[in-house]
Amino acid sequence: MEGASDGARARVPEDRLAAEVALLAAKSDVREELDRLAAHLDAARTMLTDDAPIGRRLEFLTQEFGRESNTLGAKAGTLGLTRLSLDLKAAVERLREQAANVE
Protein backbone atom coordinates (compact mmCIF):
# COMPACT_ATOMS: atom_id res chain seq x y z
CA MET A 1 0.00 0.00 0.00
CA GLU A 2 2.50 2.51 -1.06
CA GLY A 3 1.25 6.09 -1.46
CA ALA A 4 -0.88 6.27 1.66
CA SER A 5 2.11 6.80 3.89
CA ASP A 6 4.44 8.67 1.56
CA GLY A 7 2.71 12.05 1.95
CA ALA A 8 0.48 11.74 -1.09
CA ARG A 9 -2.29 14.31 -1.12
CA ALA A 10 -5.82 14.01 -2.35
CA ARG A 11 -6.51 16.20 -5.35
CA VAL A 12 -9.47 18.56 -5.22
CA PRO A 13 -10.89 19.60 -8.57
CA GLU A 14 -10.30 23.30 -9.19
CA ASP A 15 -13.97 24.03 -9.86
CA ARG A 16 -14.94 22.42 -6.55
CA LEU A 17 -12.26 24.41 -4.71
CA ALA A 18 -13.44 27.63 -6.36
CA ALA A 19 -17.04 26.89 -5.36
CA GLU A 20 -16.04 26.24 -1.74
CA VAL A 21 -13.98 29.45 -1.57
CA ALA A 22 -16.89 31.44 -3.02
CA LEU A 23 -19.28 29.91 -0.48
CA LEU A 24 -16.92 30.69 2.40
CA ALA A 25 -16.53 34.28 1.19
CA ALA A 26 -20.31 34.71 0.92
CA LYS A 27 -20.85 33.32 4.41
CA SER A 28 -18.28 35.67 5.93
CA ASP A 29 -19.44 38.81 4.09
CA VAL A 30 -21.39 41.00 6.51
CA ARG A 31 -21.92 44.03 4.23
CA GLU A 32 -25.58 43.16 3.63
CA GLU A 33 -26.32 42.89 7.37
CA LEU A 34 -24.49 46.15 8.10
CA ASP A 35 -26.42 47.90 5.32
CA ARG A 36 -29.73 46.64 6.71
CA LEU A 37 -28.76 47.70 10.24
CA ALA A 38 -27.96 51.19 8.93
CA ALA A 39 -31.34 51.34 7.17
CA HIS A 40 -33.11 50.21 10.34
CA LEU A 41 -31.26 52.88 12.35
CA ASP A 42 -32.33 55.54 9.86
CA ALA A 43 -35.93 54.33 10.13
CA ALA A 44 -35.75 54.44 13.93
CA ARG A 45 -34.35 57.97 13.93
CA THR A 46 -37.10 59.12 11.58
CA MET A 47 -39.71 57.37 13.69
CA LEU A 48 -38.46 59.06 16.86
CA THR A 49 -38.90 62.52 15.33
CA ASP A 50 -42.40 61.71 14.08
CA ASP A 51 -45.46 62.75 16.06
CA ALA A 52 -47.31 59.50 15.29
CA PRO A 53 -47.44 56.63 17.81
CA ILE A 54 -44.36 54.45 17.42
CA GLY A 55 -44.79 51.60 19.90
CA ARG A 56 -45.64 48.77 17.48
CA ARG A 57 -43.35 50.05 14.75
CA LEU A 58 -40.46 50.32 17.18
CA GLU A 59 -41.09 46.79 18.43
CA PHE A 60 -41.02 45.57 14.83
CA LEU A 61 -37.73 47.38 14.23
CA THR A 62 -36.20 45.79 17.30
CA GLN A 63 -37.09 42.38 15.84
CA GLU A 64 -35.23 43.37 12.68
CA PHE A 65 -32.26 44.58 14.72
CA GLY A 66 -32.29 41.21 16.48
CA ARG A 67 -32.28 39.27 13.22
CA GLU A 68 -29.35 41.22 11.85
CA SER A 69 -27.37 40.94 15.09
CA ASN A 70 -27.95 37.17 15.16
CA THR A 71 -26.72 36.83 11.60
CA LEU A 72 -23.67 38.97 12.35
CA GLY A 73 -22.94 36.76 15.34
CA ALA A 74 -23.22 33.63 13.24
CA LYS A 75 -20.75 35.08 10.73
CA ALA A 76 -18.26 36.31 13.34
CA GLY A 77 -14.91 34.77 12.54
CA THR A 78 -12.93 36.04 15.49
CA LEU A 79 -13.35 36.22 19.24
CA GLY A 80 -13.41 40.02 19.07
CA LEU A 81 -16.26 40.03 16.58
CA THR A 82 -18.13 37.46 18.65
CA ARG A 83 -17.84 39.73 21.69
CA LEU A 84 -19.07 42.73 19.69
CA SER A 85 -21.96 40.64 18.45
CA LEU A 86 -22.93 39.72 22.01
CA ASP A 87 -22.75 43.39 23.03
CA LEU A 88 -24.99 44.29 20.10
CA LYS A 89 -27.48 41.58 21.03
CA ALA A 90 -27.59 42.87 24.62
CA ALA A 91 -28.21 46.43 23.40
CA VAL A 92 -30.97 45.22 21.08
CA GLU A 93 -32.59 43.35 23.97
CA ARG A 94 -32.52 46.50 26.14
CA LEU A 95 -34.09 48.46 23.27
CA ARG A 96 -36.74 45.76 22.82
CA GLU A 97 -37.65 45.97 26.51
CA GLN A 98 -37.96 49.75 26.30
CA ALA A 99 -39.95 49.60 23.07
CA ALA A 100 -42.49 47.33 24.77
CA ASN A 101 -43.30 50.23 27.12
CA VAL A 102 -43.77 52.85 24.39
CA GLU A 103 -47.32 53.73 23.34
Domain locations along the chain: 30-99
What confidence score (pLDDT) does residue 37 get?
93
- What's the burial of 14, exposed, middle or buried (CB within 10 Å: 0-12/13-18/19+)? exposed
Instruction: Give the separation between CA 30 and CA 68, rounded to whole angstroms.
Output: 10
pLDDT at residue 8 tops 80: no
Residue % of the chain over a pLDDT of 90: 45
Instruction: Decide: 100 and 70 in contact? Cβ < 8 Å.
Output: no
pLDDT in tens, 26-43: 777 888 999 999 999 999
Instruction: Decide: 47 and 57 in contact? Cβ < 8 Å.
Output: yes
pLDDT at residue 3 tops 80: no
Q: 73 by DSSP, 3-state: which?
A: helix
Q: What is the pTM of this model?
A: 0.72
What confidence score (pLDDT) does residue 103 get?
66
Instruction: Give the separation between CA 74 and CA 29, rounded to whole angstroms.
Output: 11
Residue % of the chain over a pLDDT of 70: 91
